[in-house]
């Protein structure tokens, strides 16, 4: 499933924000770190419970 995200640099940190649902924001020291963190956060929020077992490749980021 594709999830649009934006990446900005604020005060020396990379900030990734999901554009749609689920709405979340994360910070990272690099662009790659911020994207990996938001991918994990979206995956966590999409899972209805840990037993649903959403696959690692379920979340595909579309950087806008």
Element spanning 42, H or E: helix 31-46
Residue span of the structural domain in which 8 resides: 2-63
Mean pLDDT calculated for residue range 1-19 = 96
Domain count, the chain: 1
Contact 38, 45 (CB under 8 A): no
User: Does residue 54 register a pLDDT over 80?
Assistant: no
Q: How far apart are CA 39 and CA 16, in angstroms?
A: 10
The DSSP output letter for 47 is: -
pTM, whole model, 2 decimals? 0.83
Looking at residue 29, its pLDDT comes to: 97
């Amino acid at each position: 499933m594709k999830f649009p995200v934006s990446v900005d640099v604020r005060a020396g940190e990379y900030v990734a924000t999901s554009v749609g649902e689920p709405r979340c924001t994360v910070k990272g020291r690099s662009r790659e770190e911020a994207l990996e963190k938001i991918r994990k956060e979206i995956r966590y929020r999409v899972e209805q419970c840990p037993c649903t077992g959403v696959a690692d490749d379920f979340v595909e980021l579309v950087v806008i």
